[in-house]
Structure 1
């Protein structure tokens, strides 16, 4: 039985009406697990802005608080200020503030090129209204020059006014504990929620990891490769790996867990139940 800690879930806006309807069902099912909040992703440069707003409208005021992602790269202060005012008027008081990746074909980083700039701007514009989460990279941001510089960049975001952090997904708990230890040595003591990615499909997992700079340990890659197309074995193995990872994180003092749901109820629900966190 794990120690009871809060959980949260991440969704991404869907592109079709059918997808949106399916996500409403997933939202209702995961809400039964009593998460602290749901977050909803947002494309850089506002590329999914309308779909993000539509998803927020579906979920806001339905019990569990919603936290929109807000990325700044390639966007203007005016457009971001509009969104902050809109969210505040809707009673939303939590935001995930990110730099984002510049959309292809777009030139120029915009008026707020880094997440630190965005956090500072949110505080200047909205005061203390929003609880601000930022991204953390226990295995280093893929574009960082060095781990030390990445730690400094992270600490800058917190000093600019962020309250907490959500990590990129990872499978090596030591990387998470080392990251937390390093920021504490810099005088930063905020909750850092590990980002948890369920393992259900080997090729998808490898694609996500390669795209985000997350490390899949060799033993996990090798084991997944032995299963070939046996999806039942992949899911059973993946479930065991992620349960053990979460147990280590909880035992080591992780303040909460943030699940990357990929807009599915399972296996997120099963992980939460087997960890005794429902």
Structure 2
């Protein structure tokens, strides 16, 4: 991607300005939740949904466990969001441990419940340490799932994108080819795996363009409140964790409030640099906790819509 002098000047102004400056009304956000396992977790989830709803996200998504382990809970959560809030809900759907007919039936149930947006994923093996294997009679991968969903109904379809290459891909070119097939089969947008340095996204965006992929790609932002946990997740999905991050969180194990302050600042700064590079949409992995995501959005200039009051989480 060639950057003009005017773009460089605009980026410089954005980087020099306060964190919230010039983003108000210009940045769009979306949020990811996971289905609750207990009554207490359900209470936390709905407090978070109500807190973030006034920010007017483009959509909110709800994850889906390996092997369909949260299928009913995901469906119930998505249906309730769609029914009881002003939000547009997106349901995660994977290829794992299900036939095409079973997956198609789930998709039809979502459509009947008023859900028009699916996050289509291959998914991972339900057995830790085992390689993914296509279910007999199931969809081969996310690209095939996208094609199947497109035949059923005119769903809006989001898919996963991997700036640092999916762990199962032999090389980056193979990974990009797989992403291109998803778009060719009907995907609306790609949402990236989390990453921690803006250059990672910009290099990926340039690689997409070089590979002939012109679909929308939205950066997935993961606020780091528990460094050890995020490091474990990063190792599983091939995400680089810079050494400075380990030093930054060192000594804060017993200071959760301090970790939250640092997490919010880091995530907002990452978004600010992405914005300076032309990114106007951000997808937040909320972990069902609203305060941190709300604070980051506030720093980015995203404000509650007029007449809509946030509820305390």
The TM-score normalised by the length of structure 1 is 0.94
The residue that corresponds to 2:16 in the other structure is none
CA positional deviation for 1:2? 4.0
Q: What is residue 33 of structure 2 aligned with on the other side?
A: 11
Q: Which runs of 5+ in 2 are unaligned?
A: 1-20, 304-313
Measure the CA separation in 2 of the matches of 1:213 and 1:277: 31
C-alpha deviation, 1:191, in angstroms: 1.4
The alignment yields a C-alpha RMSD, in angstroms, of 1.7
Q: Which residue of 2 aligns with 1:66?
A: 89
**Pairwise CA distance, 1:116:** 0.7
Secondary structure at the aligned position of 2:248 is classed as helix
Q: Which has the higher contact order (CA 8 A, sep 6+)?
A: 2
Is 1:44–1:102's contact at 8 Å kept on the other side of the alignment? Answer: yes
Partner of 1:175: 200
Q: TM-score, normalised by structure 2?
A: 0.84
User: Is the Cα contact below 8 Å between 1:24 and 1:58 reproduced in 2?
Assistant: no
For the 8 Å contact 2:75–2:110, the answer to whether it is kept is no
The answer (yes or no) to whether the contact 1:2–1:250 under 8 Å persists in 2 is: no
1:226 CA drift (Å): 4.5
The count of residues paired between Structure 1 and Structure 2 equals 276
Give the one of 192, 195, 216 matched to 1:191: 216
Return the offset for 1:64.
Answer: 0.8
Q: Can you give the 5+ residue segments of structure 1 that lack an aligned partner in the other structure?
A: none
**Does residue 85 of structure 1 match 2:111?**
no
What is the match of residue 94 of structure 1? Answer: 117
> Is the 2:264–2:293 Cα contact (8 Å) retained in structure 1?
no
Which of 243, 249, 252 pairs up with 1:218?
Answer: 243
| In 1, Cα distance between equivalents of 2:253 and 2:92 | 35
Contact conserved, 1:37 with 1:65, CA < 8 A, in 2?
Answer: yes
**1:258 — aligned with what?**
283
Give runs of aligned pairs for residues 142-157 of structure 1, distance below 5 A: 142-157=167-182
Matched residue SS, 1:267? helix
Alignment partner of 1:35 is 2:60:
no
**Distance in 2 separating the partners of 1:160 and 1:42:** 22
1:44 aligns with 2:71: no
